[in-house]
Structure 1
């Protein structure tokens, strides 16, 4: 079992090598090493160590994706088999129905899809399509992202693609530090379910909505395709890689940043601001009433 110092050194090495803003890594490294030398992490183990280091990382650099994570599942520490956390994330998605908790048909022929994770487009595409197939004949649709904790950029682009008529909409870009390249995300040409066009769409958010969930909310809002109802989201816009630094501890390193083609920026640190601000617990009723009014029901 590595010592706390070894865990922290490994994490800082990963951050220095991969963080999307390299000019900030020196101050992060200095701050955490100073706390380590001062004994701030003495006696801390497991989740408590992760919590303390995460708080200090985000104090040194306010990026909510920059953190240590405890995982009950043992992680492979062999760099040769490292996949930046993708296998664990795919296993999680499989266990959670590709992030889709439920579909409900509300009064007034309004569909509701409860999304807890944004699945990868390849493995999750059929499940996303199945949910949109159930919603295909509704008169308005509500996407509930209040408990969505994140996911894959490709999956976010797939969800968004259903609300545009073709593959000609440039949704956003992601700049990757490791490759010094920018990847463009456009609407997808071929989808496994009908597109959802010319009907109202509402997106529900909370202060817990994060990362990939924020991507869907921000992108649909920026492109004028959905009304966001609820609370300002957590504010994490940087795609991350996950690296094992101990058998049960991962460091998440933001290696890229999202750039909206509409706003030229993203929701990092500020969150997605709702069009209709209401407490998260009231968001569904508020959106449902708004949809009924808009439909003249």
Structure 2
């Protein structure tokens, strides 16, 4: 019995030290990635100090790998005050093999297709108002046709509501493609500077898109404090060019684009590696968020946007399937 207990103790000890060594390697790799890639060249010093302090306190001990990743995410965001930092444990992860990029792209596209490339709902509201509920930006090569279908569906509406209240961001190329539907001509929106390669890239809308552009009509964008990253960017740039009115809550405040890394073949790490600068305001929404034109509780945003669109119909004497009394009655219901 004594030998059995000693064996169990030794087994637990070995597991503890193996986990500790692995955690140390993970922390070291993350610190190095922050040092090499984060937009602020001195931020890694805060990360290094944080990890040493937390390790000494035993904060990373006796945690599952999922718990470890979640704690790292929370600590990184707190010490650097950048909400784009993210660590996730990759269960059953298989390291990429050389020449396997096409298979990975196919797999990613399949997973994105299961969520319809971010397009949750596209419909026509009473008064011939278009509505797109959009939750995330998948890469454009796979999602162009879905965006085209959505925009073609709302092309004949009198105004459009884009619901970004649950949009967590995503691909920069898809952001530019979506923006392109609201600009008549190619427009330089912003530059992205990356410290790690000392390079600034100009990001512009496309002059032509595959679907119907939505021009010279009222556009309303719904936001919440969960609207993040590229979701914020869509609201920010359409507002900046006076192409949309923002209704809802102030957004999350994450402008810096990210690079992704696999750490120790177990964890996904997102590091904000660039800085966005608007061609108009020469700034961005980092730490600030996008302020709505009409601030309201998130649950009221859609009704308010719908009522505003209907009031604009009355103001401009635009024809719809509803009579003027019916429009007024609907406005009253929405504003109750």
TM-score, reference length from structure 2: 0.82
Counterparts of 1:207 and 1:90, CA distance in 2 = 28
Distance 1:260-1:132 versus aligned 2 partners, 3 A rule: same
The 3-state SS of whatever aligns with 1:202 is strand
- 1:15 corresponds in structure 2 to 34
1:97 is aligned to 2:90: no
The 3-state SS of whatever aligns with 2:259 is strand
Number of aligned pairs? Answer: 293
Counterparts of 1:59 and 1:218, CA distance in 2 = 25
Distance 1:37-1:77 versus aligned 2 partners, 3 A rule: farther
Unaligned runs of 5+ in 2: 1-17, 315-326, 328-336
The 3-state SS of whatever aligns with 1:31 is helix
The 3-state SS of whatever aligns with 1:189 is coil
Of the candidates 292, 295, 298, which is equivalent to residue 280 of structure 1? 298
1:26 is aligned to 2:51: no
Aligned positions of 1:162-177 closer than 5 A: 162-167=181-186, 169-177=187-195
Unaligned runs of 5+ in 1: none
Q: Offset of 1:229 from its aligned partner?
A: 0.6
Asked if structure 1 preserves the Cα contact closer than 8 Å seen for 2:35 and 2:42, the reply is no
1:141 is aligned to 2:169: no
Q: Offset of 1:92 from its aligned partner?
A: 3.6
State the Cα deviation string for residues 257-286 of structure 1 (Å, max 9, x = none): 211112211111121111111111111111
State the Cα deviation string for residues 159-209 of structure 1 (Å, max 9, x = none): 111111111x21111112232111111120220111111100000111111
Distance 1:177-1:89 versus aligned 2 partners, 3 A rule: farther
- 1:181 corresponds in structure 2 to 199
* Structure 1 vs Structure 2 CA RMSD: 2.0
Asked if structure 2 preserves the Cα contact closer than 8 Å seen for 1:239 and 1:256, the reply is yes
- 1:195 corresponds in structure 2 to 213
Counterparts of 2:214 and 2:301, CA distance in 1 = 22
Of the candidates 307, 320, 325, which is equivalent to residue 289 of structure 1? 307
Aligned positions of 1:76-87 closer than 5 A: 76=95, 87=105
Counterparts of 1:76 and 1:253, CA distance in 2 = 20
Q: Offset of 1:67 from its aligned partner?
A: 2.4
Distance 1:72-1:287 versus aligned 2 partners, 3 A rule: farther
- 1:252 corresponds in structure 2 to 270
State the Cα deviation string for residues 127-147 of structure 1 (Å, max 9, x = none): 111110001101000111111
Of the candidates 108, 113, 132, which is equivalent to residue 127 of structure 2? 108
The 3-state SS of whatever aligns with 2:201 is strand
The 3-state SS of whatever aligns with 1:259 is strand
The 3-state SS of whatever aligns with 1:22 is coil
Asked if structure 1 preserves the Cα contact closer than 8 Å seen for 2:184 and 2:207, the reply is no
Of the candidates 63, 77, 88, which is equivalent to residue 58 of structure 1? 77
Structure with more of its chain in helix, by fraction: 2
Distance 1:82-1:64 versus aligned 2 partners, 3 A rule: farther
State the Cα deviation string for residues 13-67 of structure 1 (Å, max 9, x = none): 2111111211222222222222123311111122211121122112210000112
Aligned positions of 1:229-244 closer than 5 A: 229-244=247-262
1:219 is aligned to 2:258: no
Counterparts of 1:201 and 1:287, CA distance in 2 = 9
Counterparts of 2:38 and 2:96, CA distance in 1 = 20
